[in-house]
């Protein structure tokens, strides 16, 4: 996706494209998950934050059921659809996300008219930074306001999850949209995925002399593929055998018992989720007492668990993590759903360039595509700009 167009330019381009002014411009951020991977759909704990890369939508309500959509990034022409016959599985590419949230709002009994939409985003696609949810959260924020639906943030989270699960066909949890809708500048979002309770946890890496590097491996992933679904199925199987509603209800102390009840693969999947929930709680406590400089070992342990127990890493992610740690990062892990995407490396400011150079060099030596490396900071959640 392209560098985000300035809001005024986006509004002007909307008017040029659709022949009328937009009703407004809304934006929603992508997210980085600091820790807590594949715990959300197990009703557990996660600690993401909204990032300073966003999807912006200029949108105007129509007086019919037609939808016209255009993106500023190349290779995509005008997409046209009709909400009267929009159903799960319809739409292609990025257009599925606006259509999906419109469908989810209609399913809730909200009258959703057609609309014209112009999208611009600088959230890297396929990088595990939730570019799809950034689009969904920007669109649903606009439609919630323009239709007068008055849904709460918690309602919007569930509606976007419904769009993802049913309309798009990706069995995701509620973490990504919760971060995008409920994030705050300078804070991570400590989310209990069972009841949507949120606590904002200060996370100021810069004040601790650190930067959070994102290493986009350029290995694209998709939540709608079989790998994600099979991991979720393993978690549900494990919970059923252990007699709990969700793996959230299994403590670390029960892993010994679980080893006698579960097959080897299911045990490893369960062990990741149970220990990852514990790592999230430890990270929140550590941030509150010792600050960001003390969480490195927890990030490292999270990656090992995802690599070995949940088996969702890949050679590029492992190389990014190992190289960044060997060159000065205090902690590193893959972030996002896995099978590609990005790693994060919490790095002292004075070692940032060394880590960048070493990772690029190691990828070249391995014959991998050169990664994109950039910093992110916790940013505000979805909001109206114009």
102 CB contacts (<8 Å, ≥6 apart)? 67, 83, 86, 112, 115, 139, 143
In 3D, which of 113, 82, 111, 117 has the Cα closest to residue 98?
Answer: 117
Q: Which residues, in sequence order, are CB contacts of 285 under 8 Å at separation 6+?
A: none
Contact assessment for residue 82 and residue 66, using Cβ atoms and an 8 Å cutoff: yes
Of 127, 38, 45, nearest in space to 344 by CA: 127
- The torsion angles phi and psi of 10, rounded to 5 degrees, stand at -65, -45
Task: Confirm if 255 and 380 have CB atoms less than 8 A apart.
Answer: no
For residue 252, what are the contacts with CB-CB under 8 A and spacing of at least 6?
274, 275, 278
- Say if residues 82 and 65 touch (Cβ distance below 8 Å): yes
Q: Which two tokens stand for residue 332?
A: 């590193």
Cα 225 to its chain centre, rounded Å, is 16
Instruction: Give the Cα separation of 208 and 349 in Å (integer).
Output: 9
DSSP code of residue 163: I
End-to-end CA distance of the chain: 22
* Active-site annotation holds for 263: no
Backbone angles phi and psi of 169, in degrees to 5: 90, 25
Q: Catalytic pick from 40, 116, 122, 176? A: 176
CB atoms within 10 A of CB 174: 22
- 43: left (phi > 0), else alpha (psi -120 to 50), else beta? left
Kindly state the tokens that stand for 21.
């002014």
The catalytic residue positions are 176
């Amino acid at each position: 996706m392209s560098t985000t167009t300035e809001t005024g330019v986006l509004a002007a381009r909307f008017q040029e494209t659709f022949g009328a002014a937009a009703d407004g411009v809304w934006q929603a951020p992508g997210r980085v998950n600091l820790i807590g991977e594949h715990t959300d759909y197990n009703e557990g704990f996660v600690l993401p934050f909204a990032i300073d890369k966003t999807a912006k939508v200029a949108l105007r309500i129509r007086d019919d059921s037609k939808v016209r959509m255009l993106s500023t990034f190349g290779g995509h022409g005008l997409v046209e659809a009709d909400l009267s016959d929009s159903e799960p599985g319809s739409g292609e590419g990025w257009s599925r996300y606006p259509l999906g949230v419109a469908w989810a709002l209609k399913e809730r009994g909200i009258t959703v008219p057609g609309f014209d939409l112009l999208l611009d985003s600088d959230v890297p696609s396929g990088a595990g930074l939730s570019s799809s949810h950034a689009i969904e959260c920007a669109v649903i924020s606009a439609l919630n306001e323009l239709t007068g639906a008055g849904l709460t943030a918690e309602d919007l989270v569930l509606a976007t999850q419904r769009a993802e699960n049913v309309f798009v066909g990706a069995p995701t949890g509620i973490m990504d949209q919760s971060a995008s809708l409920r994030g705050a500048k300078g804070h991570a979002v400590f989310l209990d995925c069972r009841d949507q309770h949120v606590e904002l946890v200060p996370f100021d890496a810069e004040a601790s002399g650190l930067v959070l590097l994102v290493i986009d491996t350029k290995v694209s992933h998709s939540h709608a593929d079989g790998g994600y679904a099979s991991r979720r199925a393993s978690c549900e199987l494990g919970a059923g055998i252990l007699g709990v509603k969700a793996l959230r209800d299994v403590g670390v102390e029960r892993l010994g018992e679980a080893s006698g009840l579960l097959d080897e693969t299911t045990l490893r999947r369960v062990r990741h989720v149970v220990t990852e929930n514990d790592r999230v709680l430890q990270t929140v406590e550590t941030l509150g007492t010792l600050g960001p400089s003390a969480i490195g070992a927890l990030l490292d342990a999270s990656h090992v668990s995802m690599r070995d127990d949940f088996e969702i890493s890949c050679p590029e992610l492992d190389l990014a993590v190992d190289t960044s740690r060997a060159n000065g990062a205090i902690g590193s892990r893959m972030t996002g759903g896995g099978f590609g995407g990005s790693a994060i490396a919490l790095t002292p400011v004075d070692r940032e360039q060394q880590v960048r150079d070493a990772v690029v060099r190691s990828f070249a030596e391995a014959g991998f595509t050169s990664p994109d490396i950039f910093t992110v900071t916790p940013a505000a959640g979805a909001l109206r700009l114009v």
